[in-house]
Structure 1
């Protein structure tokens, strides 16, 4: 793949499209483009996650890591209108579309931020210490839902998970969807070794849902 969805500034030619996320409790219409993850349809892993996890906390701060054009974060926002949802991604084109999709679906309780590999504001979101973006990203978060970017490689993936799981609130829970043949079981073992109690919450269509609780 010459153009990766985790590139900060995708060079792929634009090809706008629209996809539908239809679940038992909601229907979102989402604009997409080339140069981001799964632009032609809401990918199966994301659907498995959204159809398997329990309802998000009705209040508090919720996080989607690797938000892409927004399906997970927007589903969280629709399901928990009293919560504040944050979506983060390194891909500028995806973050711009996620913000557009929030407006398109009339979801005002969600915000999207462009971040760097260390989880700090990037590009136009960067600024001095204490900016609204930095405060939004600092956590703690009561829940994290994520279809993490497995294909960035283990070192980068592990660094990403250390950053964001470290911002989980005491008593908070993260749900991660990982394809079995892309290392779901080995990731679960790594999480355990890192001190993040992890269990398999669900398994479907070749995907595992890993649940991580912070004591």
Structure 2
């Protein structure tokens, strides 16, 4: 069986990797491992999503990172928004342990990191939800994340998602428009689209 980063308990042999990376003018130290997404660097999609998110005008409240992996997006945003609580979730237990370690190593305390399959273990409403969704988990999984986010946003809250054009960004835009009544392409860069929908009701 082929094992991907969205497995709950990856069985790949541990082989930790350490690197420093600058995000939003701050250098972070990351520990990663086999069995997690993008082990050796911060992928371009995540970097593009981070840059778009910090330019977004959210209402007051907490932020949610769905599919946080070992934590680069959530930790960069938690550092950038020290007065907001950032919740970070993933289905991959190995990735979550790394995210917790990376939060501690970078002295970021305004985060809550725990396991959730999509939104199943998530309660409460958020000012912003952002995701670099697990494309290899399949279109149904990605569509579920984009759709279910609406029930966890405050009025005026915003969902941001990064997808490559070749991996379904146009169809995701159609879905988000149907669910939220709106969807804006905030940026296009290197084939990656940053999509944003606002909960208006």
* TM-score computed with the length of structure 1 as normaliser: 0.87
| Residue equivalent to 2:87 | 86
Distance 1:61 1:138 in 2: 12
User: Does the 8 Å CA contact 1:20/1:42 hold for their aligned counterparts?
Assistant: no
* Structure 1 pair 187–55 and aligned structure 2 pair: CA distance change class (3 A): closer
Aligned pairs (5 A) from 1:177-188: 177-188=162-173
Distance 2:161 2:184 in 1: 10
Distance 2:100 2:57 in 1: 21
Distance 1:192 1:57 in 2: 19
Distance 1:51 1:146 in 2: 13
Distance 1:101 1:111 in 2: 13
User: Does the 8 Å CA contact 1:146/1:175 hold for their aligned counterparts?
Assistant: yes
After the TM superposition, which segments of 4 or more aligned residues of structure 1 sit over 4 Å from their partners?
Answer: 55-59
Distance 2:75 2:66 in 1: 12
CA RMSD of the aligned region, Å?
1.7
CA drift at 1:106: 0.4
Report SS of the residue matched to 2:99.
helix
Q: Which structure 1 segments of 5+ residues have no match?
A: 122-136
1:15 aligns with 2:15: yes
1:164 aligns with 2:155: no
User: Does the 8 Å CA contact 1:58/1:80 hold for their aligned counterparts?
Assistant: no
* Structure 1 pair 196–68 and aligned structure 2 pair: CA distance change class (3 A): farther
Q: Which structure 2 segments of 5+ residues have no match?
A: none
Distance 1:113 1:196 in 2: 31
Report SS of the residue matched to 1:172.
strand
User: Does the 8 Å CA contact 1:56/1:80 hold for their aligned counterparts?
Assistant: no
User: Does the 8 Å CA contact 2:133/2:162 hold for their aligned counterparts?
Assistant: yes
Distance 2:57 2:71 in 1: 16
Distance 2:143 2:59 in 1: 29
| Residue equivalent to 1:132 | none
Distance 2:40 2:30 in 1: 11
User: Does the 8 Å CA contact 1:58/1:81 hold for their aligned counterparts?
Assistant: no
Distance 1:25 1:196 in 2: 35
Aligned pairs (5 A) from 1:147-158: 147-158=132-143
User: Does the 8 Å CA contact 2:23/2:76 hold for their aligned counterparts?
Assistant: no
| Residue equivalent to 2:110 | 109
| Residue equivalent to 1:131 | none
CA drift at 1:152: 1.1
| Residue equivalent to 1:25 | 25
